[in-house]
């Protein structure tokens, strides 16, 4: 097959002048038909004049601007949820040049208004957003600022609840079902990135994974203390988005944005606390001011941190026991004390499940047990494997 102006087999080139004028006439007729189609059929174009603009060029050289309302599932979801997403400022005292103490924002994040009852509005955010705050300030969707107070927070799940005056609040978020999310489903992150005046910023992505366990260091000692149970998304979550909403296409909050992996080699890996996991924490914080969990009444140390000589001489462990949790101290009157546990006992099993470190112990205790439950523990004492039965108590009583 040759190009248009080639003459294979000695055939004569077509008359290009005639073709040109024929094409020009065709364009003119086509443009006229388009004009007649759009302007002779009422209601064909949307009447909403708040959308993007489209310019229609007419055959006489003039043009007319027509407004087109662009609505998608994403824009509808954002319209439903965005007014319930707020900025949260962590205020701490500082001294200025004149030695006057005043509160200044040392950190910013986001939050979600989930309830407005009896003139009081409640906001869920991250624990790390409000940690160390001497005062809290919420920035609403319209830019107005409202003083807030901390109801309660939980370091283990990185959640906190605030309360504030709800007299001007018109929109509260609707919680969805995070267990119903599917991998690849579209989600929207709404928040206040970088602490700038970008409140209500929107990024979109998909659910990359629904069941992720991320190790976290809660006290900054370089040791992993916990494994956060989160879902993964590639919707951009930047500093300042923490505590904001992850929303499905129905405009329902399905997650509280919490963290991201921030290295030069990684892009598009953010994490959100599933709302179904967050709900019991939110309810406990609102009602009790803290998350009430079952407690054993012991302080702990990973066996892996104990030198080999100490394992053999102080703990008298068999050489093949290299994983477990050392009881560093027992609280008087606690469930562990009542069961007869002592310092230097080495826990290796709980309810028939092996326990290799503190994280696994806490995960089992906090996720599988409730106050009043019985916990069966196997632990070594002076080389002998012993069994203990603990009746778990309220951690707030210790």
Catalytic residues: 128, 158, 242
Please count the other Cβ atoms lying within 10 Å of the Cβ belonging to residue 336: 26
Whether 101 and 94 have beta carbons less than 8 Å apart is answered as yes
If you write DSSP's letter for every residue of 41-89 in order, what string do you get?
STTSS----SSEEEEEEPTTS-EEEEEE----HHHHHHHHHGGGEEEEE
Non-local CB neighbours of 22 within 8 Å, separated by 6+ positions: none
Non-local CB neighbours of 99 within 8 Å, separated by 6+ positions: none
- In angstroms, the CA 293 to CA 279 distance is 15
The gap from C-alpha 241 to its chain's centroid, in whole angstroms, comes to 8
The gap from C-alpha 206 to its chain's centroid, in whole angstroms, comes to 13
Among left, alpha and beta (phi > 0; psi -120 to 50; other), residue 368 is alpha
Specify burial of residue 9 (Cβ count, 10 A radius: 0-12, 13-18, 19+): exposed
Cα–Cα distances (Å) from 271 to 228, 259, 277, in that order, read 10, 5, 14
Please count the other Cβ atoms lying within 10 Å of the Cβ belonging to residue 144: 9
Please count the other Cβ atoms lying within 10 Å of the Cβ belonging to residue 250: 13
Non-local CB neighbours of 173 within 8 Å, separated by 6+ positions: 81, 84, 85, 112, 113, 114, 245, 252, 253
In the chain, where does DSSP find H-type helix?
16-39, 73-81, 127-130, 275-288, 308-313, 335-339, 358-368
């Amino acid at each position: 097959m040759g190009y248009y102006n080639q003459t294979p087999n000695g055939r004569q080139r077509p008359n290009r002048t005639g073709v040109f004028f024929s094409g020009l006439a065709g364009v003119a007729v086509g443009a006229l038909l388009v004009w007649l189609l759009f302007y002779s059929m009422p209601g064909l174009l949307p009447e909403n004049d708040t959308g993007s603009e489209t310019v229609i060029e007419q055959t006489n050289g003039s043009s007319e601007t027509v407004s087109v309302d662009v609505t998608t599932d994403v824009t509808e979801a954002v319209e439903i949820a965005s007014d319930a997403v707020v900025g949260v400022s962590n205020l701490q005292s500082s001294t200025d040049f004149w030695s006057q103490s005043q509160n200044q924002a040392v950190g910013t994040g986001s939050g979600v208004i989930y309830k407005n009852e009896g003139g009081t509005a409640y906001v869920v955010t991250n624990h790390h957003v409000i940690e160390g705050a001497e005062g809290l300030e919420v920035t609403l969707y319209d830019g107005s600022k409202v003083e807030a107070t901390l109801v309660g927070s939980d370091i283990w799940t990185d959640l906190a609840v605030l309360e504030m005056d709800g007299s001007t609040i018109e929109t509260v978020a609707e919680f969805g079902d995070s267990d119903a999310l599917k991998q690849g489903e579209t989600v929207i992150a709404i928040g206040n990135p970088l602490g700038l005046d970008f409140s209500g910023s929107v990024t979109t992505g998909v659910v990359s994974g629904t069941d992720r366990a991320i190790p976290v260091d809660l006290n900054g000692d370089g040791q992993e203390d916990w494994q956060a149970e989160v879902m993964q998304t590639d919707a951009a979550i930047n500093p300042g988005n923490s505590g904001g909403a992850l929303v499905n296409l129905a405009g329902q909050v399905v997650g509280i944005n919490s963290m991201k992996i921030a290295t030069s080699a990684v892009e598009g890996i953010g994490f959100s606390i599933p709302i179904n996991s967050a709900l019991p924490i939110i309810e406990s914080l609102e009602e009790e001011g803290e998350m009430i969990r079952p407690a054993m009444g012991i302080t702990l140390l990973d066996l892996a941190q104990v030198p080999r000589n100490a394992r053999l001489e102080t703990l008298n462990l068999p050489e093949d026991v290299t994983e477990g949790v050392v009881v560093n101290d027992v609280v008087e009157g606690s469930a562990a004390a009542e069961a007869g546990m002592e310092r230097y006992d080495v826990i290796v099993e709980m309810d028939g499940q092996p326990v290799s470190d503190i994280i696994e112990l806490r995960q089992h205790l906090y996720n599988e047990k409730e106050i009043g439950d019985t916990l069966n523990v196997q632990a070594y004492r002076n080389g002998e494997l012993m069994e203990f039965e603990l009746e778990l108590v309220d951690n707030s009583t210790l």
